[in-house]
Amino acid sequence: MNINALKIPSISELSQDDLDALLAMEHRAYAVPWTRGNLNESLQNGHIGMACRLEGELVGYAFLMCVLDEMHLLNLTIDPGFQGRGWGRLLLEAVKDRARALGCTQLLLEVRHGNTRALALYRNSGFKPIGVSQQYYPSFHGREDAIVMRSFL
């Protein structure tokens, strides 16, 4: 195997300059994506935005919100064309590192009940289900439940 063929993404901060790429990725990744307004609001209102970049190209991102000693993972997305390479795990570990650095003791998230790939990632990363938010997510067929999960840091 050619060692140069192994490319590892870097983690950096999101900025307003990433807005178009974020919106495009949301539309590739989700049937009901965040809107430009949702993304812009997160960038402008103090949420932590983390980018996963491969040779400068945005291939994933996460939005976080710190509340007291809890970090809330609002969105973690890897572009569908780049999934299955361990980069979601890499970004999630960077999220946990950031939460610890800010003094948080736990990381909370909601995940669609039907998102088996994300559920597996979170379970394999130490998250445990702690509840269900019924009818939390919009879908084309009404609403979908969310599994609430927590990981102690």
CA dist 27 → 19, 20, 79, 97, 150 (Å): 13, 11, 10, 28, 27
Whether the CB-CB separation of 81 and 38 falls below 8 Å is answered with: no
Q: Which of 61, 110, 137, 144 is catalytic?
A: 110
Q: How far is CA 27 from the centre of its chain?
A: 15
Let me know if 148 is exposed, middle or buried by CB neighbors in 10 A (0-12, 13-18, 19+). Answer: middle
Q: Is 137 designated active site?
A: no
Whether the CB-CB separation of 127 and 151 falls below 8 Å is answered with: yes
Q: Is 136 designated active site?
A: no
φ and ψ at residue 84, rounded to 5 degrees: 85, 15
Angle, helices 36-44/19-29, rounded to nearest 10 degrees: 130
Q: Which of 61, 122, 137, 144 is catalytic?
A: 122
Q: What is the CA radius of gyration of the chain?
A: 15
- Catalytic positions, written as ranges: 110, 122
